[in-house]
């Protein structure tokens, strides 16, 4: 059947996981959920399977600062990769999709499929993920542009929502996308039973998406193509042309393509997904909680403490008499937060930016 080329987007900065996640060592390069880093887990997840499709060696898209560490981590695991595509500037996911589609079409032909996925998501049930990929690959082979839909577990306001339309084999046409609704709207979506969270994982034919982007967002398609054509390639390293890529409008693939195309299909994916967006998510996915409901990582000691996440990458940490807190300690910074407020860690990061404290970012 079809060739599926995984394209792992590893260029994010993961600021809400400060102080562990830093620009030169972002969350996807940390071992947060398992003993492996998230990019290592992601690469393993898209290596060989025994199904009807076969994963080609993945393409890794990232920036120069993260390149060396990501490469070392992947080499350490003996996961074969095809290319490291270096973004000279960040231009969001539509630009990455366009570059990926052109690169895959050039190397494997326009019928080859692209599995575009972030490097910093946790997927608990890998066999179910592979099953979803198989369903998506089947739809994409018929021209669909597919996105993976997660069954919502609550009226989260930080995600995009997808309303399903007409049923297809194991999938649904997309009726509508709604980006980050408020709580009431999110709850009304849940009540209908017809909505998914948008996981930000896409599978599409490289030729199909190129054609669609040329229709829907030509400036992005053109700038991305030019950046690839004029790229500086050294071995497996593809340095996108800085001048061309800088001209590319910055837009999400959701907004630039998925919300506009009539080829959008959502694949229900009951795969134990979490985007590990903030510390609370890491607390939620931890499977080694103590009897007191705590997660303990590193040199920590807890007294009368419950339902808390305490992690240290070095210093000794003692916690006394607290419930529902997150404590994250590195050599040069400390976070202490209510579990329910870890989204607001971005405010701490913003304060550091305003203070010009780049050494802590």
Asked whether position 334 contacts a second copy by CB under 8 A, the answer is yes
Nearer to a second copy, 208 or 349 (CB): 349
CA-CA-CA-CA torsion sign (178, 210, 129, 268)? positive
Element (H, E) at 285: helix 279-285
The Cα 333–Cα 182 span in angstroms is 33
Nearer to a second copy, 68 or 338 (CB): 338
Least separation in angstroms between residue 23's CB and a second copy is 15
Give the residue carrying structure tokens 């060989």.
48
* Encoded tokens for 284: 């939620």
Residues 309-328 that bind a second copy (CB under 8 A): 312, 314-322, 325, 327
Nearer to a second copy, 166 or 338 (CB): 338
Nearer to a second copy, 175 or 306 (CB): 306
- Please answer whether residues 198 and 147 qualify as being in contact, where contact means their C-beta atoms are separated by less than 8 angstroms: yes
Asked whether position 220 contacts a second copy by CB under 8 A, the answer is no
Residues 17-56 that bind a second copy (CB under 8 A): 18-19
The Cα 61–Cα 117 span in angstroms is 10
Least separation in angstroms between residue 306's CB and a second copy is 12
- Please answer whether residues 119 and 13 qualify as being in contact, where contact means their C-beta atoms are separated by less than 8 angstroms: no
Asked whether position 281 contacts a second copy by CB under 8 A, the answer is no
Asked whether position 278 contacts a second copy by CB under 8 A, the answer is no
Residues 283-312 that bind a second copy (CB under 8 A): 301, 303-304, 312
From the list 272, 179, 254, the residue with the least C-alpha distance to 217 is 254
Asked whether position 202 contacts a second copy by CB under 8 A, the answer is no
Asked whether position 124 contacts a second copy by CB under 8 A, the answer is no
Nearer to a second copy, 131 or 296 (CB): 296
Asked whether position 361 contacts a second copy by CB under 8 A, the answer is no
Residues 6+ apart with CB under 8 A from 327: 300, 308, 309, 310, 311, 317, 319, 334, 335, 336
Asked whether position 347 contacts a second copy by CB under 8 A, the answer is yes
The Cα 148–Cα 246 span in angstroms is 29
Nearer to a second copy, 219 or 318 (CB): 318
**Strand-pair partners of 266:** 147, 172
* Count of residues engaged in binding a second copy, rule: CB under 8 A: 38
Nearer to a second copy, 98 or 326 (CB): 326
Residue 196: how many CB atoms within 10 A of its CB? 24
- Please answer whether residues 70 and 86 qualify as being in contact, where contact means their C-beta atoms are separated by less than 8 angstroms: no
The Cα 60–Cα 44 span in angstroms is 13
Asked whether position 338 contacts a second copy by CB under 8 A, the answer is yes
Least separation in angstroms between residue 79's CB and a second copy is 35
- Please answer whether residues 87 and 101 qualify as being in contact, where contact means their C-beta atoms are separated by less than 8 angstroms: no
Per CB under 8 A, residues contacting a second copy are 18-19, 301, 303-304, 312, 314-322, 325, 327, 329-338, 340-342, 344-345, 347-348, 351-352, 357, 360
């Amino acid at each position: 059947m079809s060739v599926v080329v995984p394209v792992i987007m590893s260029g994010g900065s993961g600021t809400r996981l400060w102080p562990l996640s830093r620009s030169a060592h972002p969350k996807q390069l940390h071992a947060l959920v398992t003993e492996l880093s998230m990019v290592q887990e992601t690469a393993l997840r898209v290596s060989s399977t025994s199904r009807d499709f076969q994963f080609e060696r993945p393409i890794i898209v990232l920036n120069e600062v993260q390149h060396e560490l990501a490469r070392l981590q992947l080499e350490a695991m003996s996961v074969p990769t095809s290319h490291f595509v270096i973004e000279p500037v960040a231009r969001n996911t539509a630009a990455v999709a366009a570059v990926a589609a052109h690169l895959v079409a050039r190397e494997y032909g326009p019928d080859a499929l692209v599995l575009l996925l972030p490097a910093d998501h946790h997927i608990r049930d890998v066999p179910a993920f592979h099953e979803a990929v198989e369903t998506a690959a089947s739809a994409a082979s018929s021209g669909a542009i597919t996105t993976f839909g997660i069954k919502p577990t609550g009226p989260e306001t930080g995600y995009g929502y997808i309303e399903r339309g007409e049923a297809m084999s194991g999938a649904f046409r997309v009726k509508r996308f709604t980006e980050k609704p408020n709580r009431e709207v999110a709850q009304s979506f849940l009540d209908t039973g017809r909505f998914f969270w948008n996981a930000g994982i896409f599978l599409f034919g490289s030729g199909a998406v190129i054609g669609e982007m040329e229709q829907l967002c030509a400036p992005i398609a053109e700038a991305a193509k030019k950046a690839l054509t004029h790229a500086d390639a050294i071995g497996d390293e593809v340095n996108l042309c800085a001048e061309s890529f800088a001209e590319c409008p910055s837009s999400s693939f959701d907004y630039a393509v998925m919300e506009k195309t009539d080829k959008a299909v959502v694949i229900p994916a009951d795969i134990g997904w979490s985007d590990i967006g903030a510390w609370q998510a890491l607390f939620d996915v931890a499977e080694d909680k103590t009897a007191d409901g705590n997660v303990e990582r590193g040199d920590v000691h807890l007294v009368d403490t419950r339902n808390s996440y305490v992690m240290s990458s070095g210093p000794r940490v003692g916690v006394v008499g607290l419930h529902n807190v997150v404590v994250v300690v590195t050599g040069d910074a400390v976070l202490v937060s209510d579990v329910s407020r870890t989204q607001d860690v971005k405010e701490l990061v913003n304060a550091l930016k305003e203070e010009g404290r780049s050494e802590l970012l």
